[in-house]
Structure 1
Amino acid sequence: MDIVIVGIDLGKNSCSLAGLDAAGRVVLRRRLRRDSLEKFVSGLGRCIVAMEACCGAHHLGRIFEALGYEVRLMSSEYVRPYVKSQKNDDLDAEAIAEAATRPTMRFVPVKNQDQSDIQALHRARERLVSERTALINHLRALLLERGVVVAQGRRKLEAALETFADEEGDVGSLSPRIRILIEDMRAEWRSLDQRIAKLDAEFVQMARDDEAAQRLISIPGIGTINATALVAAVGNAKAFERGRDMAAWLGLVPRQMTTGGKPRLLGISKRGNRYLRKNLIHGARAALPYLVERETPLGRWARGLLERAHKNVVIVALANKLARIAWAVLAHGRKYDPQFEGMTA
Structure 2
Amino acid sequence: MLFTPISFKQLTLKNRVVMPPMCMYSAADDGMVTDWHVTHYTTRAVGQVGLIIVEATGVEPRGRISNKDLGIWDDKHIAGLKSIVDHIHAQGGKIGIQLAHAGRKSEAVGSNPVAPSAIAFNEEYRLPTALTAGEIQEIIQKFVQGAKRAVAAGFDTIELHAAHGYLINEFLSPLTNLREDEYGGNLVNRVRFLQEVLIAVKQVIPKEMPVIVRVSADDYHEDGNTPEIVAEMLNLVKQYGIDIINVSSGAVIPVMPRAYPGYQVAMALTIKEKTQLPVLAGGLITEPAQAMQLVKAGIDLVYTGRELLRNPYWPLQAAHVLQQEVEWPVQYLRGKW
TM-score (norm 2): 0.26
> Of the two structures, which has the highest relative contact order with CA contacts closer than 8 Å and spacing of 6 or more?
2
Question: Larger Cα Rg: Structure 1 or Structure 2?
Answer: 1
TM-score (norm 1): 0.25
